Structure 1
Amino acid sequence: MSLAREVSFATDARIFSEGGNADRFWIIHTGTVALDVEVPGRRAAVIETLGAGELLGWSWLIPPHQWHLGAQASSPVRAYEFDAAAVRELCGNDPELDHALLTYVVGVIAGRLRSSRVRLLDLYAPHGAGEVP
Structure 2
Amino acid sequence: MQTTVEMLAEQPFLAGLTEHQLSLLVPLASRSMFHGGNRIFREGAPAEEFWLITDGRVYLDCAMPGYDDFVLETLRSPAVLGCSWLFPPYRWQFGAVSVHTTEVLAFNGPQMRALFQSDPSLGFELTTRFLRVMGDRLHTARRRLADCQRETRHLDDV
Query: What's the TM-score once normalised by structure 1's chain length?
Result: 0.91
Amino acid at match of 2:116: C
The residue correspondences of 1:103-118 to structure 2 (distance < 5 A) are 103-118=128-143
Query: Structure 1, unaligned stretches of length 5 or more?
Result: 128-133
Q: State the identity %.
A: 38
Q: Is 2:124 aligned against 1:95?
A: no
Amino acid at match of 1:65: Y
Partner of residue 40, structure 1: 65
Superposition deviation, residue 5 in structure 1: 0.8
The residue correspondences of 1:26-37 to structure 2 (distance < 5 A) are 26-37=51-62
Q: Is 2:101 aligned against 1:76?
A: yes
Amino acid at match of 1:74: V
Partner of residue 46, structure 2: 21
Partner of residue 14, structure 2: none
Runs of 4+ more than 4 Å apart: none
Q: Give distance in 2, aligned partners of 1:107 and 1:57.
A: 13
Query: What's the TM-score once normalised by structure 2's chain length?
Result: 0.77
Larger Rg: 2
Q: Give distance in 2, aligned partners of 1:3 and 1:42.
A: 36
3-state DSSP of counterpart to 1:43: strand
Amino acid at match of 2:98: A
Report the structure, 1 or 2, having the larger helix content: 2
Amino acid at match of 1:106: L
Superposition deviation, residue 79 in structure 1: 0.3
Amino acid at match of 1:39: M
Query: Structure 2, unaligned stretches of length 5 or more?
Result: 1-25
3-state DSSP of counterpart to 2:37: coil
Superposition deviation, residue 44 in structure 1: 1.5
